[in-house]
Amino acid sequence: MSEDLTRRALLGNVARGTVLLTLAGGAGFLIRKANGQVVWQVDAARCLNSRLGEVNVEACSLCTSACVVALSAVRAVNEYSKCGRCNVCPAYFNITSAVDEHGLPSEKLCPRDAITRKAIGKVDPEDPANNFYEYAIDEDKCDGCGKCVMKCKEPLGLGSITLRIRYDKCVNCNRCAIATACPQSALLQLPVEQAIRPPEVRRLGL
Amino acid sequence: MSWNRQARLLAAALVLLGCLFLCVSRAPAQAVPYQRPVDTAPQPGAIGGGYKTPDVQKPLPRAYWLQVLDVGLLAAALGVSVWLVLKRRNRKWLVALTAGSLAYFGFYREGCICPIGSIQNVTVALTDPRYSIPMVVTATFVLPLVVALFFGRAFCGGVCALGAIQELVVLKPIRVPRRLDQALGLLKYAYLGLAILFAIRPALARDFLICRFDPFVGFFRREGAPHMLLIGGAFLAAGMFIGRPYCRYLCPYGALLSWCTRLARRGVTITPDKELDCGLCTGACPYGAIERMRAVRPNCFYCARCYAYCPRDGELARAKPSLVQLPGAPS
Amino acid sequence: MQYRQVRVIAGRFRAALRGVAVDKGGHIYAAGDSEIKVFDAEGALARNWPTAKPALSVAVAPDGSVYAGEPGQIEIFDTAGKLIDGWRDEKLLGFVTAIGFTNDSVLAGDVGGRAVRRFDRHGKLLNTIGKDNPVNGLLICNGVVSFAVDAQGVIHAANPGKHRVEQYASDGRLLGHIGRFDGVDPAGFTGCCNPTNVAVGDCLYTTEKAGPRVKAYDFSGKLLTIVAEDAFDANCKNMSIAVDSSGRLYVADTVKLAIFVFEEVAA
């Protein structure tokens, strides 16, 4: 009887040890491959709003509606170093609206009024058309609808505004709902360092 | 062997074979070519006036040390769960732990990352050479299994947020007939197999079923699609009378935990030499984990109700004796 | 005033078509890829020769020599395509996207300096036009300086950021400007930075991007006609334009890599 018990105990130990070794081995294998966190990011070269080709097309707002977070984790981000700082910005103004008395379009494009316009550099006090303007997007108001991105795209603009996922808002789902919904398959999983690099948007050459 | 045991072994074998067979799949390339942009935008020198191009904000995801902290808290909660149930046998404190886990892992961390979903991440990491799984996710997957290997399903008891939310709504659990219980229990193997199958697919076709069909994540995030919230509500409503239906019949991680628990030496025990044969524990267990006065460890969710109701061991045992006036007896 | 499309010269360039010019004899000079190609009036290729760097612009001097604008330099060829001279200056000739001539000097557009540089015939800098004049000068977010010299020696330079064409004297004085922004009225310039390129003949011709079109204005700024609107690819940008002595227009479509020739239709 006692022999039977010790044999069972031994078998139990062996079984536990084997499973433990398998788990440890598997974990070790996975840890050796471990490369830090991967996060989702929008590929500007595939996103319909920022890729070259389609002009005069309705902006795609799936990033806004598909995200599981209430105010989508996707925001329009203006890469300042690539912005033209133009007087009449097609992403800020609705350039198809009537011109007001200052010679600028009377309506703004952003439905949530998230873009601000500020004169920068050497300011000409007499002629406002003679200035550079900085356009900043307020990320608390932006919902990633993509209208400004579509208008900033070449050839109308310089393509400095793109849709990006903001990681302080993104939950980093295994299965990103936007990635599943996007008809252009424009969402990729990248290591964090790669994902936060500015996008290399295709531009029309000179 | 009984038929359902055979069925379970067969299901397990099929799942394992399927994994091995599909291990050779490779994900397609995801390279995206970019053209060098021609830089025509005005530089700060051209803009003049002392203008400096402002930095574009690059918010980072959750700090790494916080993710490690989560794993540490998971390990600590597992340890506390084991200690509370096996050593102290105290249901009150266990309920406190359950509530705490629900608050932290459930509502604060919004249910992510959880060991149940990590099955998919581990599967992808084992089959897709391009995918590298963060260490914290591996740890989240392995820790509850290791604990289950030695002590049983301590994870299910006080730690799992999905289990916690169901645990706290148990009202008047009914006894599910054994045959039905065992038949429904096969569903979790099917779910496990499907989850692995869909996780193995190439990157763009991959689907994380466990995350998609998580009924309670809508509550944790305090928002979600209406149909998912309804399903979650239905599970909770059912949970008032059936006792952790997701855990018993659907949880794929539970399948892995029950396999590990079979090999555990320690666990919830009803010691044969001390028990009274009163049956109070059997009635107390809402999950049908006590059969013929013995704990069925693979099904035991570490809720410690059996200990609480035991006249030898639990509250009844610790209650102060008081005289009961029997009717008709001389005072 | 109506124009019709006479000819399309296509299929001659592989990657880029950046500049177009025409000489007194009606030959069409095109700068693209890294070469200059010369076509006769019917569109047949007459000559072509390579340039040292990508050719950004081309112009024919009154004496027939061909000036090719390139990054950091100007190369001067004779009519047969033999290299006569080269002016290299990284600072003064950042990206030469337009070349013009007054009676005694050569004008070159400098994208790096956002200005028009005036040189004598030997390449010595005489003065700079349009730089910070006033305040911020030429606002060229498209990366192209475009100007044309009329018969009186007035330099008409496109200032797309302000949606204007500005007139300068050759000593750099700003004489005036025409044009305004308007996204609705076709008489105005739409988009963020238009017009991109200009040419001068009997009237002022402009090309625009984003809704690419060619328009003709008189020198007081009144819109005469829209020369062409639908002929070009929607993604065109910086379409170079040239006018010959008979009033024919030559416009470079930068996406289709073709030269469109337009002629006025007798009313």
Shortest CA distance to B221 belongs to which of C22, A71, C80, A199? A71
Choose the closest CB to A19 out of B53, B138, B260: B260
How much is the pLDDT for B21?
A: 45
pLDDT value for C115: 92
Q: Is the pLDDT of residue A138 over 60?
A: yes
Predicted confidence band of residue C237 (pLDDT cuts 50, 70, 90): confident
Chains that touch C (3 or more CB pairs under 8 A): A, B
Tell me whether residues B40 and C141 touch, CB distance under 8 A: yes
- B171 versus B12: the higher-pLDDT residue is B171
| Residue of C180, C183, C235 with shortest CB distance to A204 | C235
Mean pLDDT, range A112-116, rounded to an integer: 94
Under 8 Å between Cβ of A130 and C161: no
**C226 has pLDDT over 90:** yes
Mutation for testing the A interface, residue in B47, B123, B265 having most A CBs under 10 Å: B47
Gap between the Cα atoms of B63 and B77, Å rounded? 21
What pLDDT is stored for residue B26 in this prediction? 35
The nearest CA of chain C is from the CA of A183 a distance in Å of 23
Instruction: Give me the residue spans of the domains in chain B.
Output: 65-222+234-267
Distance of CA A73 to the CA centre of its chain: 8
pTM score of the predicted model: 0.80
Token duo for residue C91: 């600072």
Asked if A129 and C143 come within 8 Å (Cβ–Cβ), the reply is: no
* Mean confidence (pLDDT) of chain C: 91
Give the integer Cα–Cα distance in Å for C191 and C211: 9
Residue A206 pLDDT greater than 60, yes or no: no
In chain C, residues with a C-beta closer than 8 Å to the C-beta of B40 are 111, 140-143
Nearest to C52 by CA among C34, C38, C67, C65: C34
Q: What is the mean pLDDT of residues B1-18?
A: 60
Amino acid at C200: V
Q: Are A151 and A40 in contact (CB under 8 A)?
A: no
Contact by Cβ (8 Å): C166, C157: yes
Axis crossing angle, helix B91-101 with helix B64-82, rounded to the nearest 10: 160
Least confident of A11-15, A154-158, B265-269, B270-274: B270-274
C161: contact with A, CB 8 A cutoff: yes
Q: B46 and C140 in contact by Cβ < 8 A? A: no
Quote the CA–CA distance of C200 and C186 in Å, as a whole number.
20
**Predicted pLDDT of residue B323:** 63
Q: Is B273 exposed, middle or buried (0-12, 13-18, 19+ CB in 10 A)?
A: exposed
Q: Is the pLDDT of residue A14 over 90?
A: no
What is the structure's pLDDT at B8? 67
Q: Model confidence over A151-173: pLDDT tens digits?
A: 998 888 888 999 999 998 888 88
Q: Do C141 and B38 touch (CB under 8 A)?
A: no
Q: What is d(CA B22, CA B35) in angstroms, rounded to the nearest whole number?
A: 37
Q: Which two tokens stand for residue B111?
A: 């249910």
Q: Is B87 exposed, middle or buried (0-12, 13-18, 19+ CB in 10 A)?
A: exposed
How close B137 comes to chain A (CA, Å)?
10
For residue C188, is pLDDT > 60? yes
pLDDT surpassing 50 at residue B28: no
Q: Does the pLDDT at position B36 exceed 50?
A: no
Phi and psi torsions of C35, nearest 5°: -155, 165
- Residue B29: which pLDDT band, with cuts at 50, 70 and 90? very low
Mean pLDDT of C221-243: 91
ipTM: 0.84
- % residues pLDDT > 70 (chain B): 81
pLDDT at B57 over 70: yes
Q: How many domains does chain C have?
A: 1
Look at residue C197 in the predicted model and tell me its pLDDT: 95
10 Å CB burial of residue B153 (0-12, 13-18, 19+) is buried
Question: Strands C125-129 and C147-149: what pairing?
Answer: unpaired
The values of phi and psi at residue A194, to 5°, are -75, -35
Would you say residue A201 has pLDDT above 70? Answer: no
Range of the domain at C28: 2-265
Tell whether the model's pLDDT for residue B270 goes beyond 90: no
B37 touching C, CB under 8 A?
Answer: no
Question: Among B15-29, B44-58, C17-31, C161-175, whose mean pLDDT is lowest?
Answer: B15-29
Categorize the per-residue pLDDT at B33 as very low, low, confident or very high, splitting at 50, 70 and 90.
very low
Q: Which of A192-196, C172-176, C203-207, C252-256 is modeled with the greatest confidence? A: C203-207
Whether B134 has its CB under 8 Å from any CB of chain C: the answer is no
Q: Per-residue pLDDT for B327 more than 80?
A: no
User: Could you tell me if C162 lies within 8 Å of chain A, comparing CB atoms?
Assistant: yes
> Measured in whole angstroms, how far is the alpha carbon of residue C239 from the centre of its chain?
8
Determine, for residues A131 and C163 on separate chains, whether the beta-carbon distance falls below 8 Å: no
Which residues from B are below 8 Å from A206, CB to CB?
38, 40
Cis peptide leading into residue B113 (ω within 30°)? yes
Average pLDDT for B251-273: 86
pLDDT of residue B5 exceeding 80, the answer is no
pLDDT computed for residue B316 by the predictor: 60
Q: Which tens digit of pLDDT belongs to each residue from C71-117?
A: 999 999 999 989 999 999 888 888 899 999 998 899 999 988 899 99
Which residues of chain C are within 8 Å of residue A53 when distances are taken between CB atoms? 235
Q: What's residue B275's pLDDT?
A: 67
Task: Name which of C18, C161, C238 is nearest A86 (Cβ-Cβ).
Answer: C161
pLDDT at C94: 86
What percent of chain C clears pLDDT 70, i.e. is strictly above it? 100
> Residues 284..323 of B with a Cβ closer than 8 Å to A: which?
none
For the residues B267-288, what does the mean pLDDT come to? 79
* Rounded (5°) CA angle C89-C91-C92: 70
Q: Which of C136, C161, C192 sits opposite A156 (nearest CB)?
A: C192
Cα(A200)–Cα(A191) distance, rounded to whole angstroms? 17
User: What share of residues in chain C are helix, strand, coil (percent, to 5)?
Assistant: 0, 45, 50
Tell me the CATH number at C75: 2.120.10.30
Mean pLDDT of chain A: 87
Q: In angstroms, rounded to a whole number, what is the distance separating the alpha carbons of residues B321 and C62?
A: 121
The answer to whether C188 faces chain A, any CB pair under 8 Å, is yes
B277 φ/ψ sector (left φ>0, alpha ψ -120 to 50, else beta): left
Mean pLDDT along residues A48-73: 86
Q: In this predicted model, which residue has the larger pLDDT, C123 or B328?
A: C123
Per-residue confidence band for B32, with pLDDT thresholds at 50, 70 and 90: very low
CB C170 within 8 A of CB C177: no
**Digit-coded pLDDT (tens) for B98-131:** 999 999 999 999 888 889 999 998 998 888 887 8
**Could you read off the pLDDT of C34-48 as tens digits, one per residue?**
999 999 989 899 999
